[in-house]
């Protein structure tokens, strides 16, 4: 699950300090769950951040870069449509999805650096600022590519409900990134930080969706008969459109991430909420670990099969 990640900017690291990140978080924000420090919480964020980075990087390299942009690039019309209908059926769809894959990969990975406290050390602030601009530009580009594809495709694999949810999700990706940028430009760093965290929760949501899908198939939460991947005439696909689990995950993937990050931002750092945070660490870790296991296992099998099929 792509929950909001590593240390969400507690100022427990002396090299970071309030002057370095300019957050001015002393006072009111200090007693928020977001700011709890201590060995358990600091280590928790570090472990989750590191595991997410490794697993998401692996996913981007294998499932996006190698799958679409290396192995699939010589015959996009056929090879890009292997799992989802018509992904590369026309030059404009290919252009939109190509932009979408590249920019989407950037925000999923660059976001980790942006929320990591070390990027806000005085010596790294310039890189944080440059990274922030690239992140916002890529958020917009990811959504432009996604929306461009939706406009031409009309109905996504999951039918109308997935089409609506992906449009809303794209809107959130753009809106939250622009809000973070606007607040930074205004010098309101506390608000910038909160919008940046919401934005990062959205950037990781796309990855969460693949975790949901993989676990659904592996744990047989979807029936997954072999003919359920054959598209209907309107290009919806029974596997995505008709399975209740998939209908839920097509909304849950970004709504859950949003709820979790909102809770982190708003919740007071009471003992009960700290226990919930510790539980969240374990749940996220477990899902990341399970996904990493299934994904590596499947990647090996899938790539051999794909090579033979294409």
Binding to ligand HEM in span 210-229, by CB under 6 A: none
Closest CA to 249 of 297, 186, 205: 205
Which residues, listed in sequence order, are joined to residue 268 by a DSSP beta bridge?
32
Give the nearest residue (CB) to ligand HEM.
104
Size of the chain, expressed as the number of residues it contains: 310
Q: How far apart are CA 42 and CA 195, in angstroms?
A: 21
Which structure tokens are listed for 168?
Answer: 């809303």
Position 109 contacts ligand HEM (CB under 6 A): no
**Cβ 264 to ligand HEM, closest distance in Å?**
20
* Site size for ligand HEM (CB under 6 A): 23
250 contacts ligand HEM (rule: CB under 6 A): no
Footprint on residues 147-206 left by ligand HEM (CB under 6 A) = 149-150, 156-157, 166, 169-170, 173, 203, 206
72, 60, 35: which is closest to 207 by C-alpha?
60
CB of 310 to ligand HEM, least distance (A): 15
Decide: 259 and 197 in contact? Cβ < 8 Å.
Answer: no
- Tokens describing residue 17: 């300090």
Query: Nearer to ligand HEM by C-beta: 116 or 143?
Result: 143
* Angstrom distance (rounded) from CA 123 to CA 133: 18
* Using rule CB under 6 A, residue 288 touches ligand HEM: no
Q: Which residues bind ligand HEM (CB under 6 A)?
A: 64, 83-84, 87, 100-101, 104-105, 107-108, 142-143, 146, 149-150, 156-157, 166, 169-170, 173, 203, 206
């Amino acid at each position: 699950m792509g929950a909001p990640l590593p240390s969400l900017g507690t100022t427990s690291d002396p090299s970071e300090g309030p002057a370095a990140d300019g957050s001015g978080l002393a006072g009111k924000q200090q007693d928020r769950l977001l700011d709890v420090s201590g060995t358990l919480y600091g280590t928790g964020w570090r472990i989750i951040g590191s595991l997410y980075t490794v697993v998401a990087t692996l996913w981007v390299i294998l499932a996006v870069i190698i799958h679409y942009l290396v192995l699939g690039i010589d015959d996009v019309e056929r090879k890009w449509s292997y799992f989802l209908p018509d992904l590369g059926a026309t030059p404009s769809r290919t252009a939109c999805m190509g932009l979408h894959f590249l920019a989407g990969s950037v925000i999923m990975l660059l976001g980790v650096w942006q929320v990591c406290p070390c990027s806000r050390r005085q010596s790294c602030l310039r890189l944080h600022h440059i990274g922030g601009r690239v992140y916002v530009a890529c958020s917009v580009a990811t959504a432009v590519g996604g929306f461009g594809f939706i406009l031409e495709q009309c109905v996504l694999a999951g039918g109308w409900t997935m089409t609506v949810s992906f449009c809303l999700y794209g809107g959130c990706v753009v809106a939250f990134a622009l809000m973070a940028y606007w607040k930074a430009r205004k010098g309101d760093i506390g608000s910038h930080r909160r919008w940046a965290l919401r934005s990062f929760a959205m950037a990781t949501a796309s990855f969460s969706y693949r975790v949901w899908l993989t676990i659904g198939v592996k744990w047989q939460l979807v029936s997954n008969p072999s003919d359920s991947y054959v598209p209907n005439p309107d290009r919806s696909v029974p596997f995505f459109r008709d399975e209740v689990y998939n209908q839920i995950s097509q909304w849950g993937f970004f709504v859950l991430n949003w709820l979790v990050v909102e809770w982190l931002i708003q919740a007071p750092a009471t003992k009960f909420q700290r226990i919930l945070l510790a539980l969240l660490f374990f749940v996220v870790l477990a899902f990341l670990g399970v996904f990493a296991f299934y994904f590596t296992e499947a990647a090996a099998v899938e790539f051999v099969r794909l090579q033979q099929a294409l």
